[in-house]
Amino acid sequence: MTAGLTGARPRGILLLGLLALEMLAAVLVGPTAIAPWAVLSALGHPNSASVVAAIVWQVRLPRIVGAAFVGAALGLAGAILQALLRNPLADPYLIGTSAGAGLGATVAEIALPQLGLMPLGAFVGATLAVLAASSASRMRGAGSVTIVLVGYALSVVLGAVTSLLLAFDHTALLSVYFWFLGGLGGVTWLQILTLGAVLAVGLGVGVYHRRELDALAMGEAQAYYLGVDVQRTRLVLLLLAGLTTAVAVAAAGLIGFVGLVAPHVARRLFGASHDRSLVASAAGGAGFLVLADTVARSLPFGEVPVGIITALIGGPFFIWLILRSDRRRSP
Amino acid sequence: MTISACDVHFTYGSRVVLQEVSLSLAGPGLTALCGPNGAGKSTLLHLLAGRLQPKAGSVELDGRAIARFSPSERARRVAVVPQTLDTTFDLSVGDLVTLGRLHRLGVRDRLLMRPLAADDEEAVDRALRALEIEGLRARRVSQISGGEQARAMLATALAQGADHLLLDEPTAHLDPAFRREILEILTGLARSGRTVLIVLHDLMLAGLYADRVALLAGHRIVAAGETEAVLTQETLTEVFRTPLSVQRHPVSGRPLVLPG
């Protein structure tokens, strides 16, 4: 329809093609040296009893698909939060949503161990944290940097409370810590199914509301006049951001900056309207995290948590965004 | 085609903003809402558009409480143009104006990510043409001038298809040439059958362009009616507490408000 779309469809296909190629390349990489042709042939035989098939199907693929899904969930959450908070600096990790998920999971594990309520706890924690950040963003006169600072402080406080709780309960410490630092190495096919289901719902609800995101980014008053049911839509989208963040944290621990970087790249490539940039944010998040995870597990001195790689890339980008937003404010 | 406020009372906390305000916008025409700073002009606009609820009294659109309209029904009837454009993200003019059709998007169009339906596309085209900005469609809002931004916001409101247009100081940030342009566009819209309400600081513009004027001061409507009847030296001097004189415009013969 609008002018950008003629170029947006081929670009979208190109982006998805690149993502597929990137994932394919990622399967070829790993600590066990396997010839590329052997990997490719194992891809065609998921039920083969060979060691190569086991490595490809039980170790590498779940990790790569998991990285793609977690990255997509974080990219989607980041895009939604940036629009709702009217803040291009928002990211589920930076504004405390991820830390809320971590605390919620910890509380669930300590209060009701053995019930497997950590993902539910993560969802409740993430949702409460996202509601807190969103009410801070609605205060008069709070600039985007202020809101991110408040969100970051929230994140630090929630993290401190989590550590405090864990210091009292060593049994929980083991399971929660394993889970937090889990990275993408421990992702199972069952988790991938959950992630995929939540991601599908998230993309569906997000795509349904993509123009509302444009309207809400103009402020609540203008969104109201454009015919948006502001209260309901905000709540649905905040819950969605909480949910996608929670499943990402539940599967892979605290990973920062994916939700910050992906929407920026998506808007740069597809235009600012969420009509096209929302899905691209999810795809971009997937691509970013698959890449970061492949780097994280291919370093010559051994594997590092993937969050280190995303922070090394996203951190400087974040600083650059802050400096740029300051310059824009003072003419 | 009537929006009317009847005995509206409004407070922010304990601060009284409007008291016993009644105002009716009936039929086509351009009404200017004027008054000193802090008189509650913007508040009255938001009440008339249904976003704020009166503490007492009622606001009705065609005889039905405006709060009872669904968001999309309301957007189909009433459009509001903000003072400044702040999209957070750098939308293209086309994407901005497309938001005017948001209230019409169906479930399937939304989920299948289909392009706009033909009639929506047509409404966006018509709005862009009406404001002579069809050439700016692919431009981003940060790359166009303040006057062009005002046109783009107005085009978004037109794309909504509403017969009531409410504008909050749309000319405040524009230089005189753009002010005149926007007011001439609004007069044209009023002629073509729309009910237009514009919050206006500039009494000179109100005198030159408005069909009707409502003066808001001291929380109340102190005068409302035909422009010539409202914009008199005595009323204005009293309301604005500064000497103002009303002359005749040498060409159009309309009231010309000048510092007296």
Q: What is the ipTM of this complex?
A: 0.93
**How many structural domains compose chain A?**
1
Answer whether B88 sits within 8 Å of A87, measured CB to CB: yes
Which two tokens mark A286?
């997937």
pLDDT of amino acid A331: 37
Question: Mind giving me the DSSP string for A116-138?
Answer: --HHHHHHHHHHHHHHHHHHHHT
Give the chain B residue whose CA is nearest to the CA of A2: B94
Give the chain B residue whose CA is nearest to the CA of A272: B91
Answer whether A272 sits within 8 Å of B95, measured CB to CB: yes
Rounded to the nearest angstrom, the gap between the alpha carbon of residue A29 and the centroid of all alpha carbons in its chain is: 23
Tell me the per-residue pLDDT of A197-211, one tens digit each, with 9 for 90 and over. Answer: 999 999 999 999 999
pLDDT of amino acid A181: 63
Tell me the per-residue pLDDT of B82-139, one tens digit each, with 9 for 90 and over. Answer: 988 999 999 999 999 999 999 998 887 788 777 788 899 999 999 999 999 999 999 9
Rounded to the nearest angstrom, the gap between the alpha carbon of residue A67 and the centroid of all alpha carbons in its chain is: 10
| pLDDT of A1 over the 50 cut | no
Q: Which of residues 89-148 of B touch A (CB under 8 A)?
A: 89-92, 94-95, 98-100, 102-103, 105, 107, 110-111, 113, 115-116, 121, 137-138, 140
Give the DSSP letter of residue B102: G
| pLDDT of B166 over the 70 cut | yes
Give the DSSP letter of residue A147: H
Of B78, B88, B110, the CB nearest to A217: B88
Q: Are B154 and B83 in contact (CB under 8 A)?
A: no
The boundaries of the domain holding residue A100 are 5-329
Give the chain A residue whose CA is nearest to the CA of B50: A225
Q: Are A189 and A251 in contact (CB under 8 A)?
A: no
> Which residue type, as a one-letter code, is found at position A42?
A
Tell me the per-residue pLDDT of A139-161, one tens digit each, with 9 for 90 and over. Answer: 766 677 888 888 889 999 999 99
Give the chain A residue whose CA is nearest to the CA of B113: A207
Q: Are A34 and A52 in contact (CB under 8 A)?
A: yes
Per the listing, tokens 């203008």 go with A222
Of A86, A204, A214, the CB nearest to B99: A214
| pLDDT of A122 over the 60 cut | yes
Q: Rounded mean pLDDT of chain B?
A: 93
Q: Are A69 and A293 in contact (CB under 8 A)?
A: no
Tell me the per-residue pLDDT of A9-67, one tens digit each, with 9 for 90 and over. Answer: 778 888 899 999 999 999 998 888 889 999 989 998 888 888 899 999 999 999 999 99
We report the CATH number of the domain holding residue A44 as: 1.10.3470.10
Among B163, B147, B17, B171, which Cα is nearest to B82's? Answer: B171
Evaluate if pTM is beyond 0.90. Answer: yes
pLDDT of amino acid A328: 56
pLDDT of amino acid A4: 43
Size of interface A-B (CB pairs under 8 A): 114
| pLDDT of B39 over the 60 cut | yes
Residues sharing a CB contact under 8 Å with residue B133, sequence separation 6 or more, in sequence order: B93, B148, B151, B152, B155
pLDDT of amino acid A327: 58
Answer whether B49 sits within 8 Å of A5, measured CB to CB: no
Q: What is the side-by-side order of every strand in the sheet holding B2-12?
A: B15-26, B2-12, B56-61, B64-65
Residues sharing a CB contact under 8 Å with residue B69, sequence separation 6 or more, in sequence order: B50, B61, B77
Q: Are B11 and B55 in contact (CB under 8 A)?
A: yes
Dist. CA A122–CA A119, nearest whole Å: 5
pLDDT of amino acid A182: 55
Task: Give the pLDDT band of residue A178 (cuts 50, 70, 90).
Answer: low
Which two tokens mark B69?
């309209």
> Which residue type, as a one-letter code, is found at position B215?
L
- Chain B nearest-CA distance from A104, in A, is 31
CATH classification for the domain delimited by B2-259, as one of 3.40.50.1000, 3.40.50.300, 3.30.1330.20, 3.90.1150.10: 3.40.50.300
**For chain B, domain boundaries:** 2-259
Answer whether B94 sits within 8 Å of A86, measured CB to CB: no
Among B2, B6, B49, which Cα is nearest to B25's? Answer: B2
